[in-house]
Amino acid sequence: MALYAIGDTHLSFCVDKPMDVFGGNWTGYVEKLREGFSVLTEQDTLVLCGDLSWGMSLEQAEQDFRFLHEIPGKKIFLKGNHDYWWTTAAKMERFFAQKGFDSLSVLHNNCHFYQDVALCGTRGWFYEEERGEHSAKIFNRELMRLETSLKAAGDREKICFLHYPPLYHGYRCEEIIELLKRYGVKQCCYGHLHGGSHRLAVSGVQEGVEFTLVAADYLNFQPKKILEF
């Protein structure tokens, strides 16, 4: 029984936007993902840190969800900046129920549990996002969602999952880092960074929190084992 994480699968079974066009490590990435996910069992939990599918709606992403549903174990996912299919939690849960995707759950204004460990998270924030009046509202909403998730965990040990990195060489999101420290988060997994950006990722323990990049191409499309019981 193990907890795994991976981000940025960028599936496109119903959309003509395969990541293979970028070449390099992305060539044949769907088969690499399929092989990587073969290590999972029905007792395992996989957290997907955003950018799951290029679909523009739930219906357009259905085959991508089916691919993820057919992976053994429980799958929990959060929103990435390219998840244009994302809608309300109620609509997503209703869609999954209608399609029989009972292994899929959403991490959004809530938390999930792996044994006694709370799995918290949200999309997060990154310097790419403009800090105008509109984006300031989105940023504050992300902070509220993260704190809601962390509060829902109570006194349990917490692992945080984000799409955007809260730390990056030359950048840090002070507000998110402060929340992680205030709520005693000891481990934070994030995605979003690809290709040449990998070298600028921050990994390891910083200010009492262990940061881990879990973008799929960084992991060579092998899910990262986070915990095992």
pLDDT digits (tens, 9 = 90+) for 52-102: 999 999 999 999 999 999 999 999 999 999 999 999 999 999 999 999 999
What the block records as the tokens of 85 is: 């299919």
Do residues 153 and 87 lie in contact, with contact meaning Cβ atoms separated by under 8 Å?
no
pTM as predicted: 0.94
Q: In what order do the strands lie in the sheet with 45-48?
A: 104-106, 74-77, 45-48, 2-6, 224-228
Q: Where are the alpha helices (DSSP H) in 78-210?
A: 89-99, 133-152, 174-182
Say if residues 223 and 203 touch (Cβ distance below 8 Å).
no
Quote the CA–CA distance of 213 and 56 in Å, as a whole number.
26
Residue 91 identity: K
* Count of domains forming the chain: 1
pLDDT at residue 127, as a whole number: 61
Kindly report, residue by residue over 138-186, the tens digit of the pLDDT.
889 999 999 999 999 999 999 999 999 999 888 889 999 999 999 999 9
**Percentage of the chain surpassing pLDDT 90?**
81
Q: Which domain holds residue 141?
A: 2-228
Q: What pLDDT score was predicted for residue 129?
A: 55
- Supply the mean pLDDT for the chain: 93
Q: Is the pLDDT of residue 25 over 90?
A: no
- pLDDT grade for 31, boundaries at 50, 70 and 90: very high
Find the CATH number of the domain harbouring 158.
3.60.21.10
For residues 116 and 18, the model is more confident at 116
Closest among 122, 192, 126, 211 to 162, alpha carbons compared: 122
What are the tokens at 193? 């960074």
